[in-house]
Chain A
Amino acid sequence: MDTGSREIEVNLTVNGKKVTVTCPANTRLLDLLRDYLHLTGTKEGCGIGECGACTVIMDGKAVNSCLVLAGSADGSEIITIEGMEKDGKLHPIQEAFVRNNAIQCGFCTPGMVMSAKALLDANPDPTEEEIKIGISGNLCRCTGYKQIVDAIKEAAEVLRRRTA
């Protein structure tokens, strides 16, 4: 039986790289990414699951990294916004965000892009309603969402053409 500890060791894969982090037991996945791995693209807005700024992909699903304990992420595969570009080139979702002016202050963008990726990975041809549901856990105080929805629609098309 585990007797418990204040320090834990977490082994996980982040953006394709295996890492081991030793951190206090009450560390959240969000803190592990930002403070231990210095992946500061993932943002903290509310810290209570309401805003989605901290969204990352964990084992294929979008999650609020502020509501995942580091220990619970042990053995998982995590993708953050830093894992989106390939060979110095932005991911098609990121490009579509730029083209559609879906970024103003940018605080919500990393989380929004990760929700969009989780959505498009599971559903490459979503309806507008499905896109809205897909990003319903991500708040944006600047854009009014239309540009974001348009960007995701366009990214879906680009990605579909690419795999066709």
Chain B
Amino acid sequence: MKPFEYLRASGVDEACKTLAAYSGTCAVIAGGTDLLVALRSRSKRVEHVEKVLDISKIRDLDFIEDRGNEVAIGPLASHAALAESRVTRKYAPILAEAAKTVGSPQIRARGTVGGNIANASPAADTIPPLLTLDASINVRSTSGERLLPLAEVFAAPYRTTLRPDEIITEIVFPKPAGRYGHSFIKLGRRKALSISRMNVAALIGTDDEGTMKDVRIAVGSVMPVPSRVSAVEDLLKGQKLTDDLAREAGELMSSEMIRRSGIRWSTEYKAPVIKVLTRRAIVQAAKRAMAETMNVS
């Protein structure tokens, strides 16, 4: 294990001050399920780390709250908490379902949603669901607070647009209101333990006749960074889903992947697979929306 100094913050202000003082050499640790793996292998990503600031004991950062029209989640909420919370299961089942597929019970107990976002793995499982929920994150530093859409957080694989002195203090999203169906599909190497190669999150709102009014589709490990795919969303919006349309959406996803990511060694494998995953996710989400009888809030 790489040697480092250990610091602990008991509140957000204290954490911000510490980060400001040691900016550039100090890494935040929450659950540690990503950071300790990196420190152990002395990965290039943690070359700069001389100090580790433990935020895992900051009680104020561990919550999942129903705030009327919004849901707010503290960065320290664990994957286990996301999977079990009444609030996420009711208003963001897509997020609860995704969290349930993360790693193993041990990883879900320690791994946090804030860590999942800040680590910015292309395959992070909570990110595409949060993108479909139109989530934003609140970040804090000694210079203040800013709210930024999650879609603007990812710069490159394992790189965010956050400054090294900023910490995520909250994740918020509006509750989807009306008739919605969701689907989260991931392709893992092993059932229980896998950093997924690809995942698809689809959240579809329909009217009573089944016309898709609101279509939100995000993918992980497909585009250069986790992102929504508006071309596919626009193809479906205003339509009723048919088998042909779902297939066409899958094909469009695959050509969007090639357009945005270019042809790579993995394209030959990924292109046909993402087609199928996308089609399945859309069909499941639309079906669930139609089966939803009362979801008016």
Contacts and interface: CB of A to CB of B under 8 A. Distances in A.
Given A1-B17, A136-B193, A72 B105 contact: no
Given A2-B8, A5-B6, A69-B54, A52 B18 contact: no
Contacts of B32: 67-69, 72
A121 B291 CA distance: 36
Given A5-B6, A6-B3, A71-B6, A63 B110 contact: yes
A47 B22 CA distance: 29
A88 B17 CA distance: 51
B3 A61 contact: no
Interface stretch (A21-29, A91-99, A147-155): A21-29
A113 interface: no
A8 B9 CA distance: 14
A61 B109 contact: yes
Interface in B19-73: 21-22, 29, 31-33, 36-37, 39-41, 51-52, 54, 56-57
A3 interface: yes
Given A2-B9, A49-B103, A68 B110 contact: yes
A62 B1 contact: no
A137 B192 contact: yes
Contacts of A134: 105
13 contacts: A26-B2, A49-B106, A62-B109, A64-B110, A66-B36, A68-B110, A69-B29, A69-B36, A71-B8, A75-B57, A136-B104, A136-B191, A137-B193
Interface of B: 1-9, 14, 17-18, 21-22, 29, 31-33, 36-37, 39-41, 51-52, 54, 56-57, 80, 103-107, 109-110, 191-193
